[in-house]
Amino acid sequence: MLQHLQTSQQLDSSQYGQRHPHVLLCYKNFAANHHISHIGLGVSAMNNAKVLNRHGINADVSAITSAANLVEILNSRPSITDVVISAPWISSPELAEIVLNFPRIDFAVNCHSNVGFLQADRNAAPLLRQYIELQQGTWNFSVAGNSSKFVLWMRAAFGAPCSYLPNMYNVDYATDSATPLHRGGVLRIGSFGATRPQKNIMSAAGAALEIHEELKMDTEFWVSTGRVDGGNSILESVRGLVSDIPGFTLKELKWTTWPNFRALVRKMHLMIQVSYTESFNMVTADGVAVGVPSVVSGAIPWAPDYWVAHFDDVGDIARVGRQLITDPQASKDGLYALEHYNRDSFSAWRKFLKSAHVEYDMLIPNALH
């Protein structure tokens, strides 16, 4: 079924009308400001907009604080044809009112991870059920998911349509270069993202500790701090695991702007992102863009197969990590894999937006090999 879902989106542009969409990508502004920060949904929306705009599809990004805020934007931008809201968070009565008051705009709420991630927000699952009802009662609203596995589950579990709107990552600035090998000095390993149980940071820490012991080199293990989502004891547990070990240092990176974050990622030799549940994982793509490979779990669908370790086998995570540290082609393979995923994802977006624009333009040489 997964293969059918993916191939069904490879449609010829002649099947679309001559519609010229103007899409608004919006996400909840938790910080109540408009600065670019490493809020995953904001970074995802920005990357999607860059890819769409590069291919002639007009796309804007807005951080919104409420349903009323969205209405203000729509009233001020009459050219908008499509609105994609990241994650279920607007109440169904408010959303229904917006959908009915703007009948010429197509709306979608895009669930931003796989089914397991719905437990991160107690309101997500009830809202999803209500959105399914709204979809059934209107002509211009869709439930969507950025994971093909989530989309198939929605169709099977609820018998409900579910659009596929996967993440894309803008690789304009990415370099087609080999991974810089570690040739002495401190080994830097990162495991970044919100401190949630789903991110499996404890297993990443255990693997980093094993790599440190096996390679007999001073090691820094970097994690994100300052945004603890449902995992208040996780960082304390990691500190307890690795404190006072000679040559091993835990480095805690406070939540920062996305440009600053990418600059720090560039300093890593390896990242470990072995989530229990995911749909894309922006941090792994950040690493690819700056030449740093990641050990990932099978929940991250686009990474090269040889980057994948079993998420509950710390020894396997360490084994894959050691291989990636010594492989000069690892990040290049990741870049090619990301370009393939972008191409397929762009086709899905083009189908949803009913756009007759060009196919995805590969930017990385030899990415089709």
DSSP string, 204-243: HHHHHHHHHHHHTS-EEEEEEES--SS-TTHHHHHHHHHT
How much is the pLDDT for 119? 83
Residue type, 47: N
Q: For residues 62 and 38, which has the higher predicted lDDT (pLDDT)?
A: 62
pLDDT digits (tens, 9 = 90+) for 336-353: 999 999 999 999 999 999
Q: Work out the pLDDT band at 365, boundaries 50, 70, 90.
A: low
Residue 362 has pLDDT above 60, yes or no: yes
Whether the pLDDT of residue 180 is over 60: the answer is yes
User: In this predicted structure, what is the pLDDT of residue 7?
Assistant: 36
8: confidence class by pLDDT, cuts 50, 70, 90: very low
Mean pLDDT along residues 97-122:
91
Please give the average per-residue pLDDT across 207-236, as a whole number.
86
Q: What is the mean pLDDT of residues 164-173?
A: 89
**Under a CB-based contact definition with an 8 Å cutoff, are residues 151 and 171 in contact?**
no
Other Cβ atoms closer than 10 A to 122: 9
Q: What's residue 227's pLDDT?
A: 64
Count of helices and strands (H, E) across the chain = 12, 11
pTM over cut 0.85: yes
Sign of CA dihedral 293, 297, 302, 306: positive
Closest alpha carbon to 311 in 193, 202, 196, 192? 202
Cα angle value 355/115/142 (rounded, 5°): 30
Q: What is the DSSP string of 17-64?
A: -SB--EEEEEEE-TTSS-S----HHHHHHHHHHHHHHHTT-EEEEEEE
Question: Is 277 in contact with 113 (CB distance < 8 Å)?
Answer: yes
The whole-number pLDDT of residue 30 equals 64
Which residues are within 8 A (CB) of 340 and not within 5 positions of it... i.e. 6 or more apart? 302, 367
> Tokens for 362?
């590969």
- C-alpha–C-alpha distance, residues 281 and 189, integer Å: 17
pLDDT in tens, 41-84: 889 999 999 999 999 999 999 999 999 999 999 999 999 999 99
- The residues near 264 (Cβ < 8 Å, ≥ 6 apart) are 190, 222, 253, 256
Taking a C-beta distance cutoff of 8 angstroms, is the pair 22, 58 a contact? yes
Burial class (CB in 10 A: 0-12, 13-18, 19+), 171: buried
Please state, rounded to an integer, the average pLDDT across all residues of the chain. 87
- Checking if the pLDDT of 364 tops 90, the result is no
1 band by pLDDT with thresholds 50, 70 and 90? very low
pLDDT of residue 14 exceeding 80, the answer is no
Pairwise CA distance, residues 77 & 75, whole Å: 6
Position 35 scores a pLDDT of 47
CA quadruple 263, 269, 275, 279: dihedral sign: positive
pLDDT of res. 173:
59
Confidence of residue 31 (pLDDT cuts 50, 70, 90): low
Long-range contacts of 243-248 (CB under 8 A, 24+ apart): 245/209, 245/212, 247/212, 247/217, 247/218, 247/219, 248/208, 248/209, 248/212, 248/218, 248/219, 248/221
Q: Is the pLDDT of residue 36 over 90?
A: no
In angstroms, the CA 87 to CA 76 distance is 23
Question: Phi/psi of residue 273, each to 5°?
Answer: -130, 75
Q: Taking CA 216 as the corner, what is the angle to CA 211 and CA 221, rounded to the nearest 5 degrees?
A: 45
Phi, psi of 337 (to 5 degrees): -65, -40
As a dihedral over the C-alpha atoms of residue 140, residue 144, residue 148, residue 154, rounded to 10 degrees, the angle is: -90
Q: How far apart are CA 71 and CA 140, in angstroms?
A: 16
The closest alpha carbon to 113, from 126, 125, 105, belongs to 125
**If you average pLDDT over residues 281-285, what whole number do you get?**
94
Return the percentage of the chain with pLDDT > 90, whole number: 67
